[in-house]
Structure 1
């Protein structure tokens, strides 16, 4: 019996050893003994269409200080240009995600401010990668990463508020040049009957929204997409997979509500078409289950809509009298159900000293827009006697969506800045007649450091069956997304960053107390969420995890706070076995 027991232990140990050998606990990183050899990379090079890329931090050309390695003047001139950044594989739109903080608090970074005297280091930027130009390039890259057990970072434009498209010592798959665009007024999804057609645009994963908008504008159409100056956000990547909100979501829904078909390469290297009839489970997960999680998107087909005139309402008021701003904000909150019902969408910011908003009305007129806001404007005029200053109040109409888009003001987050954010989805129920005053009062108490206020819910967003996509069902009950963040200067110490993160966490707790159990937008949230499964995915998490296990059982595609990420530790490089 003892011999049999010993044999059992020996077999068990051998099995565990075999499992560990076939499925290592940790990914292979640059600098590890397992990192692919020069010969291995030469073999990969022979299978792809472009030379391998070696991403570097954005400011690297300004170093060494004694003899800069590149055109530092060009970098200084374009530092805040999101489109320019998108064309550089090592650049992140939010620059702190190019840096890496070690456990001991030291920071590896490459600062634009060369007077800090810090060396230029690789930080969080992947060290080598593939500039994918075809399905074949992506398949070869994925298979190479699997065979060498590499940590993979999928990057398109780097317009990423949580740094999920970069990872220290990793292998980059850059999809920015998968940029084919096709417009088809009678697009038929694969597997659908010939009678099922859509007026659609198919965009490669590297297409920027600006190019997509221009394409459909030539056909007298528009589509639901990201709204950022210069259009530096990718049209078929993380924006979509996280949900994809837009100024015109109250009219036509979120990005996930406008997708017809998605083509992607899975962790097994398979090129699949996911739609309502083929791989429908994966199609469900891709629409809201989070970017960087399901595979490498090759292209996406979106339905388009007839273009329309757009009326803007821009307003900015300030006061040193906090009570005055609070009264104005309360009235602003009150009218939101009516604004959403009219299909208004847009963005605002509130502090204890100011209220600023830029809202847009499709198919509107100046008269209709002004009438919708008359209670706010009238109150503002009355409050001037109590110290309110109306800095701006403007209304104007553009003849088409594209004309509107080309003229939107530069508001919100600045490309090339330093930022960490958090968000909460604010349920429509809070805006009811018997709720809004108490809700506005509570939220205003935490608005001193500025809270972003995005009217991107309600309307068409709320009319979609919550179970029809993998998106957090909280979106279907919400009217507004509240966003807030922290910023610091280059060269800040870890203790300074930690202090600011603590402040962010306090605000998160305060807003959560006002809206218990509220969801958050995966693309505009915090990597330090206390309960990310519930906050980002809600009741859909378990189904999403099951689909994740089916299509990516080894966890090749893992991102911060994404589906399955709780099974990984040490910066998502090693599996958790406890």
Structure 2
């Protein structure tokens, strides 16, 4: 194993550049800053291991344990909580391990004759990105549950954090479909975790969070023959800040239960202050989504027509729409999400999971809409409010699957995200003010909406400074997760921000409290 100092840009650069800086130490080094501004290392790792094989990862883990080094496990794409970066650390980069294999009649290791033999499964190595996965699946006419970002790693924090998807309503969450993990644990061993061996670790890896229990080198997941999908897009606008716009948003929110329970998935984007190409400021509403499985185009058109007509009537302008039948779902992903993810923007998020019970309440959609309308600061073209409907019938039906995933997912219908961004040149004190406002004012407004006792947030798309992160990210599962963490990593080699066991460390995972 060779450790590289002077980390190369491709090893170190982050999509959300705020996690490259270290505000507490007044360190940053942005490309757009003038040369006179002092440039520090920030949270960018001091050393990087670009792993080519699991044995490389084992060597890196053993080296870090022996020399008491802070480890950062790096896969690909965004990490809104900054979990793939750490100051003064050794980074293990898994990006280059990219094998993919389709299996027929897959038997997990140590299979004892009980349980189901999966007729179709796919093994994905640690560095496989979603776009690469969909290209591979398309060429073999199979499909698995995956996300909708171009560059996200399928095997890292995505599936280990739960993994919502447009396919969730048909097949469940990504982690629901995990059959077996291969993982390098803190003592350097390369183990298999499934229902038949190391089952407690298997439980934790399905929802316990990436980079926390070890370095996952591959995962095998259930697959199905690539089914058809009916995709849709719609878009419209209203006068800037008008009541008409928010009436339309409220109607869309009220439509979600019927839509979702029919098997539909959707991403909607609210831009209350949007500047058109002609320079006109308007309030804009966009959505895309689909129905995976055996829905016919005519069925989807019949379901969506009342919504599209009503939105146009409320705003006084017809909504543009397009509904298309796609014979193979993988081609939808390779077409719709073919463009690389946006990079280079400092970004923080706040979010909340809202239940079916809340969305069906007579005043639920109105209360949600009024709350979103009250969040007037910092809204703009690059900061849409997102409404994500990527759960559904099979997620709810999978409540019998015992795993680390927050139980609230089995009741969730809508995942709401608010985003805040700033420029590279924004002073640290102003960045801190944005973060404080998000954590202390805006996210609490979302929390007040749905008072379900087990309410929570998606741990991969939430406030990185969430004060009650144990309850918000894992609910009643945290105690068991903590016990498993102490068994497999008693010294805290794998520590990530707001991850299991991180309460014993400072915010950067450098010093024990």
TM-score, normalised to structure 1, is 0.81
Distance 1:377 1:364 in 2: 19
Counterpart in the other structure of 1:344: 264
Secondary structure of the corresponding residue to residue 575 of structure 1: coil
| Deviation for aligned residue 1:264 | 0.4
Counterpart in the other structure of 1:133: 52
CA contact (8 A) 2:368 2:449 kept: no
- When structure 1 is superposed on structure 2, of 552-561 and 334-343 the one drifting more is 334-343
| Deviation for aligned residue 1:383 | 2.7
Distance 2:356 2:246 in 1: 20
Counterpart in the other structure of 1:332: 252
| Deviation for aligned residue 1:309 | 2.1
- When structure 1 is superposed on structure 2, of 543-552 and 190-199 the one drifting more is 190-199
Secondary structure of the corresponding residue to residue 571 of structure 1: coil
Counterpart in the other structure of 2:291: 361
Q: In the alignment, which of 376, 379, 382 is matched to residue 307 of structure 2?
A: 376
Q: Work out whether 1:461 is the aligned partner of 2:399.
A: no
Q: 1:368 to 1:500 in 2, by over 3 A?
A: same
Distance 1:563 1:175 in 2: 21
CA contact (8 A) 1:151 1:170 kept: yes
Q: Work out whether 1:182 is the aligned partner of 2:101.
A: yes
Counterpart in the other structure of 1:273: 192
CA contact (8 A) 1:370 1:395 kept: yes
> Which runs of no fewer than 5 residues in structure 2 stay unpaired?
273-282
CA contact (8 A) 2:228 2:326 kept: yes
Distance 2:6 2:298 in 1: 52
Q: Work out whether 1:552 is the aligned partner of 2:489.
A: yes
Q: 1:250-289, aligned counterparts within 5 Å?
A: 250-289=169-208
| Deviation for aligned residue 1:117 | 4.0
Counterpart in the other structure of 1:26: none
Q: Work out whether 1:510 is the aligned partner of 2:445.
A: yes
| Deviation for aligned residue 1:452 | 0.8
Higher relative contact order (CA 8 A, sep 6+): 2
**RMSD of Structure 2 on Structure 1 (CA):** 2.1
Q: In the alignment, which of 147, 163, 183 is matched to residue 226 of structure 1?
A: 147
Q: 1:417-496, aligned counterparts within 5 Å?
A: 417-432=345-360, 434-448=362-376, 449=379, 450-465=384-399, 468-496=402-430
Counterpart in the other structure of 2:71: 152
Q: Work out whether 1:312 is the aligned partner of 2:231.
A: yes
Secondary structure of the corresponding residue to residue 399 of structure 2: coil
TM-score, normalised to structure 2, is 0.90
> Which runs of no fewer than 5 residues in structure 1 stay unpaired?
1-47, 59-87
Counterpart in the other structure of 2:344: 416
CA contact (8 A) 1:56 1:91 kept: no
| Deviation for aligned residue 1:355 | 2.2
Runs of 4+ aligned structure 1 residues displaced above 6 Å come to: 410-413
Counterpart in the other structure of 1:91: 13
Distance 1:202 1:410 in 2: 22
| Deviation for aligned residue 1:439 | 3.3
Secondary structure of the corresponding residue to residue 333 of structure 1: helix
Distance 1:476 1:570 in 2: 31
Equivalences, count: 490
| Deviation for aligned residue 1:467 | 5.8
Q: Work out whether 1:567 is the aligned partner of 2:504.
A: yes
CA contact (8 A) 1:350 1:447 kept: no
Distance 1:53 1:201 in 2: 33
